[in-house]
Amino acid sequence: MRHYSIHNIIFNSHHCTTLNPKKIPPLFPFPFSHKLKLFTTTTTTSDSESEPNSFVVSYLINTIGFPRETALKASKRLRFNSPEKPNSVFTFFKNHGFSDSNIRNIFIKEPWLLSSDTHNLILPKFQFFLSKGASPSDISRLLSVSPRILQSSLENRIIPLFEFYKRFLKSDKATICYMIRYSIPLSYNLTMVNMKLMIDYGVCDSSIARLLLTRPTILGSNDFINTLEEVKGLGFDPLTTTFGIALVAKKSLSKTLWDDKVAVFKKWGWSDEDVVRAFRVQPFLMLASIDKINLVMSFWVNQLGWNSLALTKRPQMFCISLERRIIPRALVLQYLQMKGLWRKNASLVTPFSLSEKLFLSKFVVGFKDESDYLLKLYEEKMNLAYTKEKNTDMKITK
């Protein structure tokens, strides 16, 4: 089973490079842009004079770059008759490393900020994130995606939420990065409800963390409690990591698709009980596509002539590469069987779980008289698999 490192998943992902110190701009990197000049007069344009709150409308359009309809809508909630207040808010963001485009996007999403008290309402939140290791560019990215954070209470919402997610992500930096990457909503949302349900069910923190990092949308789904009950009813222990994987499988598949996959296994000789037992051993089993299940079964049964029930003992076989692992190794084993060099009562599936080095040592090099042929057979199939993958990748990139 592949183990996930929180640090690796967050900091190596191309989706989230926000904490790379080489890419962090200085705190006050930009002079005022000539493209976005601040108002220095209360004169309004003739186009806006006929509109209500004409100064506000004119300021939003000509200074910030609001679309006209957006400016008209926002003007109904803003009250200023001179540029001093909105200019000061703009300057505050500019002095904290925000680009013109970031400021524009933030104000378009949350126009109320133009009338906000930056010293008492916004600055403490900036200071909190800075104290947690966020850089100015991190804060800029976070607020560009989720500027509504600034409307939330620091003490009653932001800090408790931050500490809640940190429980699973383990570090301040990882939590900051996660908030930027997934735009965590600060309202009491389904994700938090479902995470608390998992805690109540006794699901281990590492399983919850894995879901947060790899399948966050599942945590925001409805009827989560029913899935928890179903997975628990299938015999999974909430304290094990496989419980979280089983949750992913059950929430990722519709009942129809689940039943279709069960039907495919039964077509190849498995019973309903075989499917459940195999799923308990390897929950990723049910995430394999129907095509992959059929390909593995067809090769195993039709080409090798082996019993499909052997695969119930190691359902991981449906999660590994057919071309790069199953076929090359199976042909080596089939040859050894044909030559009477491999015990008939030996496990058919165990050799597929070995590392390549150990497999070659035991089943290729270990048979000195046959090793040259076996190695040639193995390498031919491996080279064919890599060539096939390379050609597939080239087709995809074209």
pLDDT higher than 90, residue 357: yes
Tell whether 20 and 138 lie within a shared domain.
Answer: yes
Closest by alpha carbon to 251, among 294, 281, 214, 277?
Answer: 214
Tell whether 99 and 150 lie within a shared domain.
Answer: yes
Closest by alpha carbon to 80, among 107, 50, 53, 106?
Answer: 53
Last residue of a domain, one of 204, 229, 252: 252
pLDDT at 148: 87
pLDDT in tens, 365-379: 989 899 999 999 999
The answer as to whether 268 is a domain residue is no
pLDDT higher than 50, residue 291: yes
Tell whether 238 and 360 lie within a shared domain.
Answer: no
Tell whether 219 and 349 lie within a shared domain.
Answer: no
Tell whether 141 and 24 lie within a shared domain.
Answer: yes
The answer as to whether 241 is a domain residue is yes
Taking residues 18-43, report their average pLDDT: 38
- Taking each helix axis as running N to C, give the angle between helix 241-252 and helix 205-214, from 0 to 180 degrees, rounded to the nearest 10: 40
Taking residues 214-221, report their average pLDDT: 86
pLDDT at 39: 47
CA 208-209-212 angle, 5° bins: 90
C-alpha 167/C-alpha 198 separation (Å) is 14
C-alpha 42/C-alpha 58 separation (Å) is 10
The answer as to whether 331 is a domain residue is yes
A 10 A CB-CB count for 318 gives 23
pLDDT higher than 80, residue 321: yes
C-alpha 377/C-alpha 336 separation (Å) is 12
Last residue of a domain, one of 235, 252, 269: 252
217 exposure class (CB count in 10 Å sphere: 0-12, 13-18, 19+): exposed
Tell whether 112 and 18 lie within a shared domain.
Answer: yes
Range of the domain at 348: 320-398
The answer as to whether 369 is a domain residue is yes
Give 187's pLDDT tier (boundaries 50, 70, 90): low
pLDDT higher than 90, residue 91: yes
- Percent of the chain past pLDDT 70, that is, above it, reads 82
Taking residues 136-155, report their average pLDDT: 89
Tell whether 146 and 242 lie within a shared domain.
Answer: no
* CB 211, CB 218: distance < 8 Å: yes
pLDDT at 393: 45
The answer as to whether 51 is a domain residue is no
pLDDT in tens, 324-345: 999 999 999 999 999 988 876 6
State which H helix or E strand residue 377 sits in: helix 371-397
For the chain, how far is it from start to end, CA to CA, in angstroms? 33
252 exposure class (CB count in 10 Å sphere: 0-12, 13-18, 19+): middle
Query: Up-side HSE of residue 69: CA atoms within 13 Å toward CB?
Result: 0
pLDDT at 268: 97
Average pLDDT, the chain: 83
Non-local CB neighbours of 250 within 8 Å, separated by 6+ positions: 227, 230, 231, 258
pLDDT in tens, 239-274: 998 999 999 999 989 999 999 999 999 999 999 999
Question: E strands within the chain?
Answer: none
For 81, the token pair is 């008759």
Tell whether 21 and 118 lie within a shared domain.
Answer: yes
Of the ranges 192-206, 222-236, 378-392, which one carries the lowest mean pLDDT score?
378-392
Last residue of a domain, one of 143, 167, 187: 187
pLDDT at 12: 43
State which H helix or E strand residue 171 sits in: none
Give 181's pLDDT tier (boundaries 50, 70, 90): confident
Tell whether 180 and 238 lie within a shared domain.
Answer: no
pLDDT higher than 80, residue 175: yes
pLDDT higher than 60, residue 228: yes
| Pairwise pLDDT comparison (5 vs 66), residue with the higher score | 66
| Pairwise pLDDT comparison (324 vs 385), residue with the higher score | 324
Q: Read off the CATH number of the domain in which 175 is found.
A: 1.25.70.10
Tell whether 347 and 225 lie within a shared domain.
Answer: no
Of the ranges 22-31, 51-60, 88-97, 292-301, which one carries the lowest mean pLDDT score?
22-31
pLDDT at 230: 92
The answer as to whether 292 is a domain residue is no
Tell whether 11 and 149 lie within a shared domain.
Answer: yes
pLDDT at 184: 67
CA separation, residue 167 to residues 195, 215, 296 (Å): 11, 18, 41
pLDDT higher than 50, residue 197: yes
* CB 385, CB 321: distance < 8 Å: yes
Q: How many domains does the chain have?
A: 3
